[in-house]
Structure 1
């Protein structure tokens, strides 16, 4: 494993590159870009579960922190901007092509949760990605539009964003909110008992998955672009690479279960496969050995077939 950086516009993106056992830099290997969920970082599921396992299976893997987040550069901080996130993937592909030991014709992409949605969007216009795997992929734009599931939620959010931008333009401090409740006690106070929220708090705020590069901070005034983003728009025209979709059979509020079915039915890929991990929730497929092990039983052969 090695920490590296690559360019994105005027800043650098921080990443971890992992190598197969007995790596020989005089040889050429297939490579996979691994993308983290919304609010996550390279040191969590994208890097330390999927990136690690795929490296052990013989691939070069590159897991990166999204621009404006974690150890990556970009101002303002804690910005979640879909266009920038998608461009991160292209910059990651650029970087891989500079490595003499990477086969430029055998680059794949894997994304988890929101990173899966972004991976799909990137693959539509990034033809250097020859195979696509998404694990519990969530369409971030859809999540933002649904809001609290009450009529007019998206419009109310946009009105609040507009008011906050006006305040900040006139000298107010940026409003940094959180993605999820800050701990289990805060979650209980909200009264929200949905499985995805409960397990998100467990994953991100306890030793199970907590990491300093994933501080549960979100710049509110930067959210407008997310509300008209659709990770799957034009997938029926532009997503033609081999595609493997992984979901669990315990649905929750983040909607990766239904998003998986939507994308499978929509994607133009002539070769596509769908894997349902029995008994697994959204967050089981982040780090729980039984669930991730079952997912990898199909992910690894998929990548070996199409880029290995």
Structure 2
């Protein structure tokens, strides 16, 4: 498959991306184009690019997979900031860039996100009307996840700890970067972790299955307060009107994609909204396992073809 590494300008830095081209690509034609957003702690070389991006290009779309600001090969410091507002705003700059490419049909731009990227995709579509269709693959509302305890405690406990850490850093203290996962599945089990999502995330990110240099699964602790106050689905009843396809597995885990999937389909104002529940599979099965990915794509490809023209 033909690909091209590119960069596009953000506020004050460059974002890095990979464009995947259809097999019969002709630069003199215009193509419906899909942006793919990677999960939290991930990068463009993992599921959003090499699994879904590649498959969508093989189905005739131009695809742009890119690294979020502060992550992967994109710019921005300090590294490993997970800021939902910046993560979604990155998409606006990606679309600005795509509109400069003669082979991109600017009236036929869609977006697909995985995990946190799935909920980010739904959120940015509310205010970015250049997006015409959205697919969320096992999407997780990052703000809800943090408030539910993933940040290490109750919201107010964590916010107070973050405030103290940021004050310490402002006075010259060392930056605290945390790893969001145990070092191995065995270490997680030894620590008493039983949740399927955390253990399967560790298997994906900490082994040869999905491990890459850019997928650090790390976050700057003092910058996490903004996520606690964010909600991917806020105003969905009013502003989310594009066609949406939400894909989830029916084996729920602690990250909450199962519940978030049902919630956003219920709440979205979209006239066209579909929920695909892939039976017998989990959140991380939908990252790269052949059968659930096949089922997701068998719905996503015709969905994009119908709604992007």
The equivalent residue for 1:176 is: 177
The equivalent residue for 2:295 is: 294
The equivalent residue for 1:307 is: 308
- SS of 2:274 mapped into structure 1: strand
Give the Cα–Cα distance (whole angstroms) in 2 for the partners of residues 2 and 178 of structure 1: 31
* Native 8 Å contact 1:37 1:114 kept in 2: yes
**Structure 1 residues 185-194 or 22-31, which shifts more?**
185-194
Shift of 1:189: 2.8
TM-score by length of 1: 0.98
TM alignment of 1:76-91, pairs within 5 A: 76-91=78-93
The equivalent residue for 1:34 is: 36
The equivalent residue for 1:128 is: 130
The equivalent residue for 2:242 is: 241
Gaps of 5+ in 2: none
- SS of 1:277 mapped into structure 2: strand
Shift of 1:148: 5.5
Within the candidate set 53, 71, 74, 1:72 is matched to 74
- SS of 2:28 mapped into structure 1: coil
The equivalent residue for 2:186 is: 185
* Native 8 Å contact 1:196 1:283 kept in 2: yes
Q: Deviations over 1:220-250 (max 9, x none)?
A: 0000100010000001100000010100000
Shift of 1:193: 1.0
Shift of 1:75: 1.0
TM alignment of 1:255-266, pairs within 5 A: 255-266=256-267
The equivalent residue for 2:145 is: 143
Within the candidate set 88, 108, 113, 1:111 is matched to 113
Give the Cα–Cα distance (whole angstroms) in 2 for the partners of residues 220 and 189 of structure 1: 24
Q: Deviations over 1:23-43 (max 9, x none)?
A: 000000000000000001000
TM alignment of 1:55-70, pairs within 5 A: 55-70=57-72
Shift of 1:149: 9.9
The equivalent residue for 1:13 is: 15
- SS of 1:185 mapped into structure 2: helix
TM alignment of 1:205-284, pairs within 5 A: 205-284=206-285
TM-score by length of 2: 0.98
* Native 8 Å contact 1:182 1:216 kept in 2: no
Give the Cα–Cα distance (whole angstroms) in 1 for the partners of residues 293 and 181 of structure 2: 23
Shift of 1:216: 2.2
Shift of 1:3: 0.6
CA distance 1:258–1:4, shift in 2 (3 Å): same
Give the Cα–Cα distance (whole angstroms) in 2 for the partners of residues 149 and 168 of structure 1: 19
- SS of 2:296 mapped into structure 1: helix
Give the Cα–Cα distance (whole angstroms) in 2 for the partners of residues 214 and 85 of structure 1: 15
Give the Cα–Cα distance (whole angstroms) in 2 for the partners of residues 85 and 128 of structure 1: 17
Shift of 1:213: 0.3
Shift of 1:185: 3.1
Give the Cα–Cα distance (whole angstroms) in 1 for the partners of residues 238 and 118 of structure 2: 18
Shift of 1:188: 1.9
* Native 8 Å contact 1:136 1:282 kept in 2: yes
Q: Deviations over 1:116-156 (max 9, x none)?
A: 11111110000000001000000000000111699x71111
* Native 8 Å contact 2:69 2:90 kept in 1: yes
Runs of 4+ off more than 6 Å: none
- SS of 1:147 mapped into structure 2: helix
Shift of 1:201: 0.4
